[in-house]
């Protein structure tokens, strides 16, 4: 049972947006890591987008299984041997004003010499019956290196992460 959540760093995107959010120099003194996000994309169209996540600047050996539901439909997808994880569909500027997607990903044993498992959950709201998206991902980074940096960025888009988006990295100590 986690007994201590300690905020390691928070990034709040400033005016003009940002191409990415990155946590660097993550200490190896915790048992697990959690990243909590509140994100919006500056894309003016009403298209869904994914946040691409990489560890330690490494773009290989990511696999995941995704379950999602939105409006009146549900689905699943899987990806293996990819260059990143794809984390949830996010809100765009074409969505309801001042609405952000919220999500969390949890990395147990991030400093171990084993492959790293990751669980993701997220929700996107657009004040309509068809654009709410709930997603759950289970992922594996097939790399034995301790995680020392985490990068979040818009996947495949030319637009930035919007102003006021935030991400907080927490370290968890078990006792």
The domain at 2-174 falls in which architecture?
Sandwich (2.60)
What's the whole-model pTM score? Answer: 0.90
**Rounded-to-integer distance, Cα 28 and Cα 112, Å:** 9
DSSP E strands, the chain: 2-12, 20-23, 32-41, 49-55, 62-70, 73-82, 85-92, 101-108, 116-124, 133-141, 150-154, 166-174
Q: Return per-residue pLDDT of the chain as tens, 175 residues.
A: 556 889 999 999 999 889 999 999 999 999 999 999 998 887 766 555 678 899 999 988 999 998 888 777 888 889 999 999 987 666 666 667 777 888 999 999 999 999 999 999 988 776 665 566 778 899 999 999 999 999 998 877 677 888 999 999 999 987 5
């Amino acid at each position: 049972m986690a007994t201590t959540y300690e905020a390691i760093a928070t990034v709040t995107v400033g005016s003009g947006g940002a191409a990415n959010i990155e946590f660097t120099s993550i200490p190896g003194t915790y048992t697990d890591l959690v990243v909590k996000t509140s994100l919006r994309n500056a894309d003016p169209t009403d298209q869904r987008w994914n946040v691409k996540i990489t560890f330690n600047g490494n773009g290989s050996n990511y696999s995941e299984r995704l379950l999602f539901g939105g409006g009146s439909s549900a689905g699943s997808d899987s990806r293996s041997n990819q260059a990143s994880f794809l984390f949830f569909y996010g809100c765009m500027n074409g969505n309801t004003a001042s609405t952000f997607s919220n999500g969390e990903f949890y990395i147990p044993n991030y400093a171990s010499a084993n492959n790293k498992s990751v669980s993701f959950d997220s929700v996107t709201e657009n004040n309509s019956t068809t654009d709410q998206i709930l997603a759950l991902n289970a992922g594996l980074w097939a790399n034995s290196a301790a995680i020392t940096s985490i990068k979040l960025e818009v996947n495949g888009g030319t637009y930035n992460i919007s102003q006021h988006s935030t991400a907080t990295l927490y370290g968890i100590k078990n006792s």
